Chain A
Amino acid sequence: MLSLTLPIPLLKTLTPPSPNINNPSLSPYSHYQPRSRSLTRGLIVPKHSSATAPPSATLRDDGTSLAGDSPEPLPEELVAELMPKHVAVIIDGHGRWAKLRGLPASAGHQAGVQPLRTVVRLCCSWGIQVLTVFVLSTENWFRPKVEVDSLMKLFETTINSSIACMKKEGIQIYVIGDSSKLPESLRSTIANAEKSTKHNSRLQLIVAMNYGGKYDVVQACKSVAKKVKDGLLHLDNINEKIIEKELETKCTEFPYPDLLIRAGGELRLSNFLLWQLAYTEFYFNKTPWPDFGKEEFVDALRSFQQRQRHYGGERHS
């Protein structure tokens, strides 16, 4: 009762839940005149690379997706307009995470699946269009066979169990890297997942598996060489733009990440997207990937939005 007689100044300090812009009658505070920024915060409609969004990406008027999960509202400190289009993530620290708990490395990898799902969900909700995840490098084959085998099994089961959800949520999956070394069953799982999700456009999830930045440049050059051999290209025309078009990230409209997040405390690129990361903002995080969550992801995005963007000498704030 007392709150009814409180003067206005204190009321200003109470922030009401953001109203639902699709159905204002659902809002418990429909008598409020909300602050202008709150209007767009209650419901985040994802951006789409194509003009028409897939039905799975449309939102019900109660603010939930057709898949049944309600989209994450954008945190106050983030601005939708400054969201990166392409985020790349190096997931690392599984081994150390497992070791600290007296568990085998495979348990660390297993624990890394949930954080990935969280990040994918947040990207879908907040209008990030491309997420590239580095899950296996060309150097990881030198690890113990038991660990590599369990990783392969984990990739297979995770992709298989996620296909239906990805189709529903409008997520397109694309795997880059040298697939020739991967087990046959994993290759067919990947092919099936790519085929099943190829018309989705809410989020493009690029998984770098048995990938290396140098491998990518070499395979791009080989691809150019083949075009020269087939008479489709003249030697004099070879320049960086031609090579760029043959890189594995040609599968996306936005091949250059705006932001690179590396979990696990290391401060290097580890042969990931070497060519594509020329002007990418780096965000190194000490948290091992299995402990990486919404809070860490928001920190990375906030840091990205606060920094001044540069392309050479030209400023892009």
Chain B
Amino acid sequence: MILCFWFSFRLVQVGNLGLQLPWYFLQIIVSAWYFISVVGNLFESYFISLKKYKSLHSGKVRYLAIVIESEEAYQISKVVKLSQWLDSIGVKNVCLYDMNGVLKKSKETMFQKLKNAKSIEEVSEVVTLHAPDHMTLEFLSYLDGKEAVAKAANLIFVENSKRHNLGGELDLQILLEPQMNKALQIVGSKGPEPDLLLVYGPVRSHLGFPAWRLRYTEIIHMGSLNFMRYGSLMKVINNFTKVHQNYGT
């Protein structure tokens, strides 16, 4: 009986060891894989920086939007660096958004550091979608989103009621997508729909970026602004240039 118990006890010890060894082995494999992928990313980033993507068709990104989580948006120097990278890649029309308007308040500082940049207010929309020699920046906050739509709707109603007061019929059909687009331009939402939207920050959400302008925008989460890399940016833009959109058809 004692022998039987001793034997089963030893068997359990061997069994436990047999379970622990594969577990430690698995942990080593996972750690090694993680290390290799990090190093691989760094190398890739470096090679991309050395113009691996020489044939990059950055012209396909006619309008690029960047959403930065408000807490990270205070790092103006990083946002400036990001804008400079985009300029060097060939992306000339950029929209910068953070919910609380941190970037909007800092735009003067940014323009001082970005000698080649102009505000979208200074540029006509026709120029915006062609490759200009300078960079065009648009600054947006939450106020340019849902609130702007409400303002635009209000503008349409006011125009309509003026006509109504002059004897015309109050026309509900006047409120269609093109009218809304026009009204939004008037209330200050000047830029077009972005082709690509990059989200910097811990969230995978566009944090209230003007919804009206996100119909077919490609949305990519880039991680924290603290870990932004030129290579990652280049890679994302390169991948975007290969994407085919069928617009639901």
- B248 lies within 8 A of A139 (CB): yes
B157 at the interface (CB under 8 A from A): yes
Query: Please, which residues of chain A bring their CB within 8 A of the CB of B150?
Result: 238-240, 242-243
Contact assessment for B180 and A270 in the assembled complex, using a CB-CB cutoff below 8 Å = no
Say yes or no: B214 contacts A282, CB within 8 Å.
Answer: no
Cα A141 to Cα B130 with chains together (Å): 31
Interface segment, one of B25-33, B51-59, B205-213: B205-213
**How far, in Å, is A233 (CB) from chain B's closest CB?**
10
CB distance from B11 to the nearest CB of A (A): 8
Q: How far is the CB of B208 from chain A (nearest CB, A)?
A: 4
Interchain CB contact (< 8 A) of B147 among A143, A217, A240: A240
141-169 of chain B: CB within 8 A of chain A: 142, 145-147, 149-150, 153-154, 156-158, 160-161
A218 surroundings in chain B (CB, below 8 A)? 175-177, 180
Mark contacts of B195-209 with chain A using CB atoms, 8 A cut-off: 1 yes-contact digit, 0 otherwise. 000000111111111
- Among A13, A238, A281, find the residue whose CB has the most chain B CB atoms closer than 10 A: A238
Instruction: Please pick, from A138, A221, A238, A269, the residue contacting B219 in the complex, using a CB distance under 8 A.
Output: A269
| B135 close to chain A: CB less than 8 A | no
Q: B12 on the interface (CB 8 Å rule)?
A: yes
Contact string against B for A residues 242-279, beta-carbon threshold 8 Å, 1 for contact and 0 otherwise: 11100000000000000000000001111100110111
Known: A218-B175, A275-B146, A277-B211. A310 touches B69 (CB 8 A): yes
Indicate if the CB atoms of A213 and B8 lie closer than 8 Å.
no
Chain B, residues 71-109, CB within 8 Å of chain A (1/0): the string is 100000000000000000000000000011000000000
Stretch at the interface among A64-72, A195-203, A222-230, A290-298: A222-230
Q: Which of A140, A278, A279, A280 contacts B248 (CB 8 A)?
A: A140
Q: With A214-B215, A240-B146 as given contacts, are A10 and B248 in contact (CB-CB < 8 Å)?
A: no
Query: Are A269 and B217 neighbours in the complex by a CB distance under 8 Å?
Result: yes
List chain B residues, Cβ under 8 A from A271. 215-216, 248
B→A interface (CB under 8 Å): 4-5, 8-9, 11-12, 15-16, 19, 69-71, 99-100, 142, 145-147, 149-150, 153-154, 156-158, 160-161, 170, 172, 175-177, 180, 201-209, 211-212, 214-221, 245, 247-249
The 8 lowest CB-CB distance pairs between A and B, nearest first, are: A139-B248, A274-B211, A142-B249, A240-B146, A221-B153, A278-B208, A313-B70, A310-B203
A102 within 8 A of B: no
A235 at interface by CB-CB < 8 Å: yes
Whether B146 and A278, one on each chain, are in contact in the complex, defined by CB atoms closer than 8 angstroms, is: yes
Q: Could you list 15 further interchain pairs (A-B, Cβ under 8 angstroms) beyond the known A142-B248, A313-B100?
A: A137-B248, A142-B249, A214-B215, A218-B175, A224-B153, A225-B172, A239-B147, A268-B216, A269-B217, A270-B215, A275-B146, A277-B205, A278-B208, A280-B205, A312-B207
Tell me the minimal C-beta distance from A51 to chain B in angstroms. 32
**Are B99 and A312 in touch, CB under 8 angstroms?**
yes
Q: Answer whether residue A5 sits at the interface, using C-beta atoms and an 8 A cutoff.
A: yes
Shortest Cβ distance from residue B97 to the other chain A in the assembled complex, whole angstroms? 12
CA distance A270 to B149 in the complex (A): 19
In the complex, what distance in Å separates the CA atom of A240 from the CA atom of B99? 16
Known: A139-B248, A239-B147, A307-B204. A274 touches B215 (CB 8 A): yes
Q: Is A15 an interface residue (CB 8 A)?
A: no
CB distance from A235 to the nearest CB of B (A): 6
Residues of B within 8 A of A267 (CB): 218-220
Interchain CB contact under 8 A, A310 and B202: yes
Q: Is the CB of A217 within 8 A of B180?
A: yes
Q: Is the CB of A312 within 8 A of B142?
A: yes
- A139 pairs with B249, CB closer than 8 A: yes
Q: For B152, give the chain A residue with the smallest CB separation.
A: A221
Residue of B nearest to A11 (CB): B12
- Chain B contacts of A225 at CB under 8 A? 153, 156-157, 160, 170, 172, 175
Using A218-B175, A235-B158, A268-B218 as known contacts, say yes or no to A279 and B205 having CB atoms under 8 A apart: yes
- CB pair B211–A275 under 8 Å, yes or no, is yes
Task: Output the nearest chain B residue to A226 by Cβ-Cβ distance.
Answer: B172
Check if B145 sits within 8 Å of A278, measured CB to CB. Answer: yes
CA distance A269 to B213 in the complex (A): 11
Distance of A244 from chain B, by nearest CB (Å): 8
Interchain CB contact under 8 A, A222 and B202:
no
Residues of chain A lying within 8 A (CB to CB) of residue B249: 139-140, 142-143
User: In the bound complex, what is the Cα–Cα distance between A307 and B19 (angstroms)?
Assistant: 32
Interface string of A44-59 (1 = CB under 8 A from B): 0000000000000000
| Shortest Cβ distance from A216 into B: residue | B211
Using A308-B202, A310-B202, A312-B99 as known contacts, say yes or no to A217 and B149 having CB atoms under 8 A apart. Answer: yes
Which residues of chain A in 129-146 are interfacial with respect to chain B, using CB atoms and an 8 Å cutoff? 137-140, 142-143
CA gap between A242 and B153 in the complex, in Å: 11
Interchain Cβ contacts under 8 Å between A and B, 18 examples:
A7-B9, A10-B12, A139-B247, A213-B215, A225-B170, A235-B158, A268-B216, A270-B215, A270-B248, A274-B211, A275-B211, A278-B207, A279-B205, A280-B205, A307-B204, A312-B70, A312-B99, A313-B70
What is the chain B residue whose CB lies nearest that of A240? B146
